[in-house]
Amino acid sequence: MGRNPRSTVIALNWPYRLPDELASGTCASGKYPPDWWFPRSGDALGRERAQHMCRSCPALAACRAYVDACDSELRGIWAATTREEREQQRLAKGRERRRAARKAGDAA
């Protein structure tokens, strides 16, 4: 299987575009092919492999914080989540903030 063109750009700069706290991450270690973090659509085995590796990563908490603070749409697996999962989490957080704001307004 050929190299994923999206991950080739990352691989050329990896880990230099990442914040310092993520440079110790499994994905930035250079031990594994960069393509592993960018599984193709429908590649359930690739997705599961990357998510499994992320869950045991020493930089997982920092990666989650980076993902939460990131204002651009990240491709690939980050903090053991897919882009779709991160979008669902973002929407759920927005709903929770609106619910809390309504509750605070009702209490006032």
Interatomic CA distance for residues 74 and 80, integer angstroms: 13
Query: Residue 69: what pLDDT?
Result: 85
40 or 108, greater pLDDT? 40
For 42-87, write each residue's pLDDT tens digit: 999 999 999 999 999 999 999 999 888 886 788 899 999 999 999 9
The domain segmentation of the chain, as residue ranges, is 5-107
Q: Which two tokens stand for residue 67?
A: 């993902």
On whether the CB atoms of residues 49 and 82 are closer than 8 A, the answer is: no
Average pLDDT, the chain: 83
7 or 60, greater pLDDT? 60
